[in-house]
Structure 1
């Protein structure tokens, strides 16, 4: 049993979290992860309205009696979602764990803490993690450069970022970006993390609500089959390498601006990828951990497998590398 500060703080069995993913974090997947002993996460903004989110939370609660959370990703845009209404829907639904991401979550953290809701905030740097700690979050999820989606602008991989956070933070934190199996969990724990967050790996599970064609593409892909877009705009995003992502990169390299690529990167196109199974239909996010994905198991089985692999790896290393005579 891998018992960490994170499992104790959040009342879960295993230190494995299924992070919030747009169009992916639905009730079936979150419930399956939680039933497997991890922490499943519903993505709030996947639901078109706050009322729809309430319904999705109720569906998840009907599928599992284990703890699960809700992700609320905050973005700065002209047409912002009604965040206060989504926040209230989460509170009114009795959710006990929230994962925030994106922009400064201070106002939302204050409201959630007033209702004794535990908050995990996703960060991409030590400085942002320290700010999250100062405003009162209960844990941090630290994203290394390997992660899908927005890995920040510092380009620091987990091998350095995780121990740097371990040195700086007082609260529990989980490592995200590049994790797909028990070897990664064992490594993260050794580097000082209290668990891991997996996104890409959970996309390739039975309960994942994306098209089987996309799951199979991830299984077949390698670690080099992603592309960084928006680098010139200082809003880097890691996506699957396809004709659309290549076109976006070429336009921006020629001096184009966001207005010149906004139709190519529209979220509705990415949603169609997951729903229709055409990997060339738009931009869709995936991490370099896809190079470690080999199968499409049930999500709960995956959680248990990852933990068993990590335990075996840690015990095996202790027995094969450390000479008990030399340290006695």
Structure 2
């Protein structure tokens, strides 16, 4: 379970860890480095299994105190960090010097190669199907995953549009060492978002997302609602700027959607994997189902490729 803003909190992360998967707290969901340290402690109260922290670096006018968040991660004894966003060189150097393993999330092979040179331990490669920022190349996982695996010497984790055992097996067949899911974990019982959002994900099809900010060269995939439709229409105008939609896409409004359930009050992140999500299980039920289905595919369906064709 990759890092998700307003979602990666202790109860969900601990449930993912207890189920045998790897969950990530989202550092910037917490209002301060001190609160992040407390949230790390809350996970440890619930599980003794491994978990990590996501640190997303955003090029903002008033950046948060990244170095202090990073120090909170290190001093809390967390040994796995998922970085994403802007160039993470400074963070990689400090984290590595303190024995932390780093998974860097990116959307292009060229960026993955750059991150490998910086010293990250693993790449999470996000295909065009993903929620959040898929980059500007529009390359789906079927091509992007093996392209990354071919060019990198460090492990690759597949991300974007994966929601079940079929996706896990496909990812590994394409050269990945595993799969990273976000949207699928939104629709679980332990995820502390409003039931309206979960039910919308269950009801939605693979077509029910919108790509916003395309004209601004900062493409983002979100769930389709009145707000995302309005943002797309406004930004179709040749003279349109970010300021014209800022009031619609504010992070505080997105948080209200997740917590209060008014689906037309702001944006919510969702990938094309919505079309593969049909229920709201517990995390343990979900992870067990994924592994059971994956093993069945490998044990029953794929062996057909190895059978000799018998002529009549």
TM-score category, normalised to shorter length = over 0.9
Aligned pairs for 1:203-222 within 5 A: 203-222=186-205
Alignment correspondent of 1:85: 68
Once the two structures are TM-superposed, the CA of residue 324 in structure 1 deviates from its matched residue by 5.0
Once the two structures are TM-superposed, the CA of residue 320 in structure 1 deviates from its matched residue by 2.2
Alignment correspondent of 2:79: 96
- In 2, Cα distance between equivalents of 1:301 and 1:140: 27
- In 1, Cα distance between equivalents of 2:246 and 2:183: 24
Once the two structures are TM-superposed, the CA of residue 314 in structure 1 deviates from its matched residue by 1.3
- In 1, Cα distance between equivalents of 2:190 and 2:200: 17
Alignment correspondent of 2:295: 311
- In 2, Cα distance between equivalents of 1:316 and 1:105: 42
Alignment correspondent of 1:15: none
**Of the candidates 90, 95, 102, which is equivalent to residue 112 of structure 1?**
95
- In 1, Cα distance between equivalents of 2:284 and 2:6: 20
Once the two structures are TM-superposed, the CA of residue 289 in structure 1 deviates from its matched residue by 0.1
The answer on whether the counterparts of 1:34 and 1:300 sit within 8 Å (CA) in structure 2 is no
Q: Secondary structure at the match of 2:247?
A: coil
Aligned pairs for 1:49-60 within 5 A: 49-60=32-43
Once the two structures are TM-superposed, the CA of residue 283 in structure 1 deviates from its matched residue by 1.1
Alignment correspondent of 1:176: 159
- In 2, Cα distance between equivalents of 1:285 and 1:76: 20
Once the two structures are TM-superposed, the CA of residue 55 in structure 1 deviates from its matched residue by 0.6
The one-character-per-residue Cα deviations of 1:150-179 (angstroms, maximum 9, x if unpaired) are 000000000000110111111111000000
Aligned pairs for 1:179-328 within 5 A: 179-255=162-238, 256-324=240-308
Aligned pairs for 1:55-70 within 5 A: 55-70=38-53
- In 2, Cα distance between equivalents of 1:143 and 1:304: 24
Once the two structures are TM-superposed, the CA of residue 276 in structure 1 deviates from its matched residue by 0.5
How many residues align structurally?
Answer: 309
- In 2, Cα distance between equivalents of 1:274 and 1:322: 47
- In 2, Cα distance between equivalents of 1:94 and 1:324: 53
State the Cα RMSD in Å. Answer: 1.0
- In 1, Cα distance between equivalents of 2:302 and 2:220: 38
Once the two structures are TM-superposed, the CA of residue 325 in structure 1 deviates from its matched residue by 7.5
- In 1, Cα distance between equivalents of 2:195 and 2:230: 25
**Of the candidates 103, 107, 111, which is equivalent to residue 128 of structure 1?**
111
- In 2, Cα distance between equivalents of 1:301 and 1:134: 38
The one-character-per-residue Cα deviations of 1:160-218 (angstroms, maximum 9, x if unpaired) are 00110111111111000000000000100101100000000000001101001110110
Runs of 5+ unmatched residues, structure 1: 1-17
Alignment correspondent of 1:147: 130
- In 1, Cα distance between equivalents of 2:306 and 2:163: 26
Q: Secondary structure at the match of 1:264?
A: helix
Q: Secondary structure at the match of 1:294?
A: coil
Moved over 4 A (4+): none
- 1:71 equivalenced with 2:54 (yes/no): yes
Once the two structures are TM-superposed, the CA of residue 321 in structure 1 deviates from its matched residue by 2.7
Once the two structures are TM-superposed, the CA of residue 319 in structure 1 deviates from its matched residue by 2.6
